[in-house]
Structure 1
């Protein structure tokens, strides 16, 4: 089950046999969690970080008036909260979007790993920097892209991230209803519905009951003015 995580790392960096084995030894037995389950709650003390082995997660924050902002989507192979290793608590929640398989990696185990394998420490530091880069791109979408551009950019990003871990980036289950898409994109559910119809009519994207089919990737990239550079798909060895 750890293979997606290893593929994610190897897509950008080489791993020695010893380093790969150290990562395999790091990860405890997985557990299965149903969709729409909150697995980390804002403010709780954390002694482990969540490695997503299969499925999709999201990070989100709730406002006192009940409004919600989804701030990131995680795909298989991602550490959803590696930053909790140093922060020890999060200012947001983490929830499963689909049925998920995940492993909770103790922070003490991570500490030992990065002390014994300093290069792996740098690779995981890169991972948290990559999360920050993706968050900045989401901020750009919320502040500057049109509604159609926001939707297009989201699905372009997911395409590249899924393809990197050797999953189908053209057709995939996102598990998000239109209200959840609205929470991620700073839109109303009605506006999301209209925009999805527009993209379908333009033969760019079909989205039905949480199932996404990218019909024209280049068209989506043009609409969003999308540049995948922020994903660092060709990162240099560390």
Structure 2
């Protein structure tokens, strides 16, 4: 099954063939959004749920003086909050990091889908709860992990999330974010991120080259980061396999 939303939701709940086809029909082929382009702005009316079908995006807030805080990375298969259409306006901006293929599901369509299928309703709720758990873990990183632990934890998390939707090969995965992006996510300068990357390389834990991350010793990187994949809540076979590897 090539649809990444289907692959992601099946990490939480088993879906029927009818459920899978419903998701594929609802998201459609998607539309292309250029890299470094905003998908939806803070203050906009969020009438539809955006689905990342391909590429990377991020949620962020930006101050008038240009300072930016990335609060999450959005990967293929991620719905950009399945209940966002219930709000009057966006409280953050979603921007494309790479070229993104974006699917959209209207609020009424999602409500009709989940009303017809208990499994789809459960899958979207579990996905939303897992997303909240990821956000809590990011808060823990910013508040309690050291700089090197933060970056190591982020790499462990992103690899696990990509593996869950079939986009990581063994211990290698795409990593198209810049050092500025990493700094904006980790609350650090790009200079500090560069030093931390050099330290991780010097420890023999990672290689980051040509927009790909290779984790040479996953167990050691996880120990350094205090990483436990349980907070990702991937309980179905694909998700359990990912959790076991991490």
Per-residue CA deviation, residues 52-94 of structure 1 (Å, 9 max, x unaligned), is: 1111111111123321110001111110232312224221111
Give the conservation status (yes or no) of the 8 Å contact 2:152–2:225: yes
**How many angstroms does 1:166 deviate by?**
1.4
Distance (Å, rounded) in 1 between the aligned partners of 2:65 and 2:82: 29
Distance (Å, rounded) in 2 between the aligned partners of 1:209 and 1:189: 18
Give the conservation status (yes or no) of the 8 Å contact 1:2–1:53: no
SS in 1 for 2:141: helix
SS in 2 for 1:167: coil
Aligned length: 236
SS in 2 for 1:101: strand
Give 5+ residue unaligned stretches, structure 2. Answer: 238-246
Q: Which residue does 1:16 correspond to in 2?
A: 16
Q: Which residue does 1:43 correspond to in 2?
A: 43
**How many angstroms does 1:235 deviate by?**
5.7
Distance (Å, rounded) in 1 between the aligned partners of 2:70 and 2:111: 29
1:115 aligns with 2:115: yes
Distance (Å, rounded) in 1 between the aligned partners of 2:81 and 2:12: 20
**How many angstroms does 1:6 deviate by?**
1.1
TM-score, normalising length: structure 2: 0.90
Give the conservation status (yes or no) of the 8 Å contact 1:149–1:223: yes
Distance (Å, rounded) in 1 between the aligned partners of 2:60 and 2:153: 19
Q: Which residue does 1:191 correspond to in 2?
A: 192
Q: Which residue does 2:240 correspond to in 1?
A: none
Give the conservation status (yes or no) of the 8 Å contact 2:57–2:98: yes
Runs of 4+ in 1 over 6 A off after TM superposition: none
Give the conservation status (yes or no) of the 8 Å contact 1:97–1:174: no
**How many angstroms does 1:15 deviate by?**
0.9
Distance (Å, rounded) in 2 between the aligned partners of 1:209 and 1:26: 34
SS in 1 for 2:53: strand
Root-mean-square deviation over aligned CA pairs: 1.8
Give 5+ residue unaligned stretches, structure 1. Answer: none
Distance (Å, rounded) in 2 between the aligned partners of 1:210 and 1:16: 36
Give the conservation status (yes or no) of the 8 Å contact 1:177–1:209: no
SS in 2 for 1:21: helix
Distance (Å, rounded) in 1 between the aligned partners of 2:210 and 2:188: 18
